[in-house]
Structures are given as C-alpha cells and as structure tokens.
Structure 1
Amino acid sequence: MDQQEIISLLNRAATGSITDAEQRVLADGLRDADEPSFRSLTEQYEGIVLQHGVPGEPDALLYERIRDRIAVIEEDVRPVRIPWRSYAAAAAILLLMFAGGAYWYFKQQATTLIADSPYEMNVAPGGDKAVLTLADGTQITLDSARTGALAQQSGIHVMKLDSGQLAYQGISAQGSVLQYNTLTIPRGGQFQLTLPDGTKVWLNSVSSLRYPVAFSGKERVVELQGQAYFEIAQHPGQPFRVKVGDMEALVLGTHFDIMAYDDEHTINTTLVEGALQVKQGQATQLLRPGQQAVRDNATGKLSVRKADIEKATAWKSGFFEFDDAGLPAIVRQLSRWYDVEIVDETNGKTGLFWGRISKNLPLSSVLKLLASNGVQFRIEGRKVTLFQGEK
C-alpha cells in the first residue's frame, strides 16, 4: 500500500467515515510501513486531526498496530541514547493513545492558550539521584560523588561504578557487627545498585531501601519504601525477603516489582519470572509469573490478579504507562518524577487516560499531551495547576 492510500484512509478515520474493513487495511498498512514512511505519515496525520477533529471510538486493532510501530522506533532510539526531548520534538510522533474516545497525540505547539502565558517554563525530567546513608550516619550524595571507592564498612568497599551505579565489593570481616545502609531516592530521582549478594535493584523516585552491607545470616532481608524492581541473585538455602511495612515478599530467585508508595491506595507486587510468596498478616499468596498481588491499604485485604507487566515495569524502562488511569493517579507519578507540586482543580471531570509517555520529556511536553485532551494548565515556578478546558 502506498502512502497516498494510507493518507486517504487516515482522512476517512479522522472524519469518522472509515469502515471496519478499511480500519484493518489501515492498521496493516501502518504496521508494514518502513520507519521513514511511518514518521512521515504520523506527521501528516497531526494536520488531519487538527483539521477534522477526532473520531469517537477507535479501532482496537488500529491502536495495536500503531503502538507496535512506536515500540519499534523506541527500541531503535534507546541503544544509541538519543535524548527523547530532541527525538520527540524532531519526529513529532503521533502517540495516538486513546482516552475516553479521543486520541492522545504529541504536538510541537501547545493546544492551550494558557501554555503560552508568561508563567510557562520547561521543568526538566528527573535523573539519577540518590543519597546513601552509611551505618555511622554519614550521608553521601551519589549523583555528585566521584567514581571509585566511597567508603569501607566491616571490610566491605562501597563503590560507585563507571556506569554511575552503586555496588558493594569484598568479604565482611569475621565477627563484625551487622551494619546497615540506606539508599534514599529523592523526588525527581532514580538509581540502580547491586547489593552485596549480587542482587540488582532499581529504585524509583521517592523511594528508599535499607539493607545490610553483608548478608551473613540464614536469610537476606531488606526493607523497602516506595517502588523498586528486583533481580534476585540465587543463593540456595538463603531466601530473600523484602519487607514493606507489615507486608513481606519471600523470594527464592526471581524478578519482580513492588510499588508501595504511601500516597497510593494499594501495594502492588508484580512477578515477572520465578517464584514469589507474598504475606500480609496471616494471609499468604503464592504468585506465578504474570500475576500481581494487591494489598488494599484501607482494608489490609490481599488478593491476586493477572498482571500487566509492561505497565508495572514501564518506569524502569523510562516510561509512564497509563491504562484507564484517572488524572489523580497521573498527577502523583508526574509530581514524584518532576519534583513539582501539582494542584488538580478539574473536579474529577477529565475521565480516564490511556497512553505511554517517555519520562525523558520535559514537563511542558507531557502537560501539552493532557491539554490536547481537555486539561489546561498553568505553571508558576514549581507549582502546576490543572483545570478543565474545552476538548
């Protein structure tokens, strides 16, 4: 199918006159288009949407085809570390994320007059930031610390690697007292570390992990606040436990994510691979890969459901992913990552959102995505006010 045929179908889609059969033809055409053609088509479709508006109910297959194509481009971009801020602005890729019957799409110009006010500023996205608190209370700001050895505790060397990650090397001195470190991630930060046993941990914004500088006992125990992704090093006979308040996860060797923010309604434990036992009081749930344990913070009830692994771990890959998310849930994530105060004055009239957004975009670009779906905004310093506008 040539580009002109695809553009003709895109026009019909934008006016709502496309048939089901034509939508599937269009989906296949977008799927098979090479990258330069796909980029060109998405740029042209932006103009079509602005001219005609958007259809009421998108075709699911069309959405999947477009998301698959965007995923391919994202994979092409990440290995060479092209900044997403420059990439998104240059390519003007249409996200085509459907929310409440409307498309979400990224544009270079704002659709809201408020965004052009004197208060607009680009709040930069977060980055690798963390503070390490040693056993004696000494604090080390890791994002500005030099590469190499940072400290020594009970024969264990605390190292900042060339990659910027934190690692522990050496063997604990025999008979030494068990010492604990705490890694704290501020608002607007994230960080990766390798624990003394070889376990890899990715920590999200506003999170902390307390752990011993050496795992010398019968089990390995760490304490988490916030969100982290774990890849557990296998040590038969020495189980790994993650404590989150009065809940804990027992691990034998697995990859999983725990989201346990104080301002969220649930604690979600998502199993990617391996085996994981989640315990809440007397209730115990054994998870299989692809399952998620959900602890209701209001009732303390523990339940299990099918997991959306891509959504649960998107933050680790550098994305926000929303699936029928209300604006308050989006606001909480944006506030943590961009380290801003966000005041929601929409009174719950914005409906649900569905989309995938790079965390490397400046805040104004993310807000313009919301603006395209009827949420206007005003930026004053590091305070952002959201209010209902016209779609």
Structure 2
Amino acid sequence: MKKEVLSRFLNGTASQDEKNLVLSWLEQENAREIFDRHLKEIWKDSSPSDADRTDYESLLQRIHKKVQPGSGRGKVKPMISLTTFFRIAASLILVVGSAYFLKQGLEHQHPVPVVNEKTITKVTQEGEKLTLDLPDGTQITLNANSSLSFSSHFGQEERVVHLSGEAFFIIAKDSLRPFQVITNEMVTTALGTEFNAYARSDQYTLALTEGRVAIDAASQSVELTSGQMATVDARLHPNDLKVNPFDFDRIVGWKEGQLVVDRKPLRVLLEDLRSWYGVEMKIDPQLNLNRRVIGTFRNKNLSDVLTGLGFSMGFDFEINGKVVFIKKESL
C-alpha cells in the first residue's frame, strides 16, 4: 500500500475509492503491522527538529501564567521536559486524528441512492392468466381481465396490493408485516394464508382456503377461517356482509383451468366465457339468458364448452375468429 494513500486516508483527504482500497487492504495479513509502522513514521516526521529555534521555555511559562494567575512571581518549573511535552502533544493529536479518520473509514457506507416511489401495475387481457412472484415470496395468480397494483417499495415497510378482477394468493408468512389486499369494497388482512379474491361488477368475495384472515367490508369487521367465504354485493346490499361455506372447485377451479357452474345464470356464464377465452359475444336477444346452468368443464376449449351448453340451453353457435355468434336454436 502506498504511503501517500495511507496518509490521505488518515488526514481525511482520500477519495472514496482510496478509502475502500485501504479498508480492503487492512483485512489482509500483516497489513495492520505495516499500518502501525507508517503511523510511527508520520509521528517522527511531525516531531520538532533541532533547527526549530522557538523559545518553548518562555512559551510554556506564559501558558502557565495564563492558567495559574498569580504564579508569575518567579520562574515556573515545567513538570516534564519541553521536548517530551510537545512530542506527547503531537502524538496525541496524531493518534486522535488517526482514530477519528479510521473510525470514519470503517463506519462509512456507500450512500444509498434515493429511488422515488412509483406504482407498478400488472394487467391481464381477456383469455390471459399471469403468475407473479413478489419480493417477499408471495405468489399471485391473476385471472383474465384483471389488474394488480403495488408500490415499487413493496415489502420494505408494508405489504399492500390493490386488486381489480380476480386473483389467487399464496401469502408468504411475515408476522411483522401483515399483507393487505384492497378492493373497492373490501380490505383483507393476512399474515400467511391462501385465498381467492374476486372484485368485479359490484361483487366482492374473499374465499379462504388456508389459515385465517381479517375482513373489513360493509362497515363490519370479521375474521374468516379456512373454508369460509365473505361476500358483499355493493349494488343490491351494500351494507350486508355475508359469511358462508364455499365449494373449492367452483370458486378456485379457474386457476387449474376448471370451470364449475352451480346454478349460475346463462347471462353471467357467457360473460365469464367471454373474459376467459378473450372473445366477443354476439347474442341473439330472443335467447333466455336468465336460465340457470349447472355443470363442470375441465380444461375444455371454447367450442367444447359451448357445445355442451348449447345442447342443454337450446342454442346454436358459430365461432368466427375472436367473435362468437350465439342464436336461439331453430326448431
């Protein structure tokens, strides 16, 4: 290590690269011994020379007189030799200064760049699903036609996401930072659980598949346990929060490509299919869309699903690219 670099490190004039270089070097074997030897050389260089003609005797007496008024009637005898006195003073200054700059160097940290907070938004289109892995280890599967937004500082102090649409959450455990899912009408707080959240067309549900969560909705607060689902219909019953059991396959089946329909109106089911498969629906106004559907479709393409539905609901269909024409079955 060059002496001039060590000297700049000790007197505080070293660049940041030189400070880092010295700190790294000090960790090497025998580096401290060389460092100490260099300190001694600096000490020697800073000692008064023989050519120094300063009257240290008179100077010291004047100092004593200032410190001890009335003691000036006679010569004040120094308690230690003058040369030793100034050597000690010089060495103390050197040691204190070296300790200070060494401490500054050891405690120095690279300045953390300030990153402005921004909102990150993930969006799925119709017919698309997306799996996200958040920095805290949480995994989220976003259903079609949905959006999820969160801060670029997510996980540093809090874990909060905003959902529109539908998503399945596997929350990483963290007892110090609760995880919150916020929709227009419902706030879900969890520490480490799994659940399905739904927020579409004024319908808000939270179906808990594992663990426990706290729900705040419709001016109420409830705690769910595994197998329970909280529901709010913001259009028909905005102040009513219902908690009921749920069927896993019917609520979460979408995640595995499974569509379970339990007495769902045909109108709603066709809307789901439009979103799932990313198509446009042209529906015959004469078709009774209020009829309810019961059935299960596992990993079926759109044509197979519509074939089964058309047989039971009495309609024909035609798929032309991304447009589906549905018309009442002719007699």
Question: TM-score band, normalised by the shorter chain?
Answer: 0.5 to 0.7
TM, length-normalised to structure 2: 0.61
Kindly indicate whether the alpha-carbon contact (under 8 Å) linking 2:249 and 2:258 is maintained by their aligned counterparts in 1.
no
C-alpha displacement of 1:218: 4.0
Instruction: Specify whether residues 325 and 217 from structure 1 end up closer, same or farther in structure 2 by C-alpha distance, changes over 3 A only.
Output: same
The aligned residue for residue 145 of structure 2 is 206
Kindly indicate whether the alpha-carbon contact (under 8 Å) linking 2:167 and 2:196 is maintained by their aligned counterparts in 1.
yes
Kindly indicate whether the alpha-carbon contact (under 8 Å) linking 2:136 and 2:155 is maintained by their aligned counterparts in 1.
no
The aligned residue for residue 262 of structure 2 is 323
C-alpha displacement of 1:344: 3.3
1:363 pairs with 2:302: yes
Q: Per-residue displacement from partner, 1:172-212 (whole Å, max 9, x unpaired)?
A: x5753333311110111001010011000000000011012
The CA distance in 1 between the partners of 2:217 and 2:157, in whole Å, is: 22
Equivalent of residue 351 in structure 1, options 259, 276, 291: 291
The aligned residue for residue 251 of structure 2 is 312
The CA distance in 2 between the partners of 1:382 and 1:309, in whole Å, is: 30
Q: Per-residue displacement from partner, 1:110-140 (whole Å, max 9, x unpaired)?
A: xxxxxxxxxxxxxxxxxxxxxxxxxxxxxxx
Q: Mind listing any 5+ residue stretches in structure 1 that lack a counterpart?
A: 1-172
The CA distance in 2 between the partners of 1:268 and 1:344, in whole Å, is: 28
Determine which structure has greater relative contact order: mean sequence separation of CA pairs < 8 Å that are 6+ residues apart, divided by chain length: 1
Q: Quick check: 201-210 or 372-381, which moved more?
A: 372-381
C-alpha displacement of 1:339: 1.4
- CA-atom RMSD, angstroms? 2.1
Instruction: Specify whether residues 347 and 372 from structure 1 end up closer, same or farther in structure 2 by C-alpha distance, changes over 3 A only.
Output: closer
Identity %: 30
| Number of aligned residues | 216
Equivalent of residue 205 in structure 2, options 268, 272, 285: 268
C-alpha displacement of 1:266: 1.7
The CA distance in 2 between the partners of 1:257 and 1:268, in whole Å, is: 8
Kindly indicate whether the alpha-carbon contact (under 8 Å) linking 1:328 and 1:344 is maintained by their aligned counterparts in 2.
no
C-alpha displacement of 1:349: 6.0
**Which has more radius of gyration?**
2
C-alpha displacement of 1:215: 2.8
Instruction: Specify whether residues 253 and 216 from structure 1 end up closer, same or farther in structure 2 by C-alpha distance, changes over 3 A only.
Output: closer
1:294 pairs with 2:209: no
Kindly indicate whether the alpha-carbon contact (under 8 Å) linking 2:212 and 2:224 is maintained by their aligned counterparts in 1.
yes
Kindly indicate whether the alpha-carbon contact (under 8 Å) linking 1:321 and 1:355 is maintained by their aligned counterparts in 2.
yes
1:223 pairs with 2:162: yes
| Code of the aligned partner of 1:304 | V
Please show how residues 6-25 of structure 1 align to structure 2 within 5 Å: none
Please show how residues 101-116 of structure 1 align to structure 2 within 5 Å: none
The CA distance in 2 between the partners of 1:330 and 1:249, in whole Å, is: 27
Please show how residues 90-109 of structure 1 align to structure 2 within 5 Å: none
C-alpha displacement of 1:310: 1.6
Q: Mind listing any 5+ residue stretches in structure 2 that lack a counterpart?
A: 1-111
Instruction: Specify whether residues 195 and 383 from structure 1 end up closer, same or farther in structure 2 by C-alpha distance, changes over 3 A only.
Output: same
The CA distance in 2 between the partners of 1:213 and 1:316, in whole Å, is: 26
TM, length-normalised to structure 1: 0.52
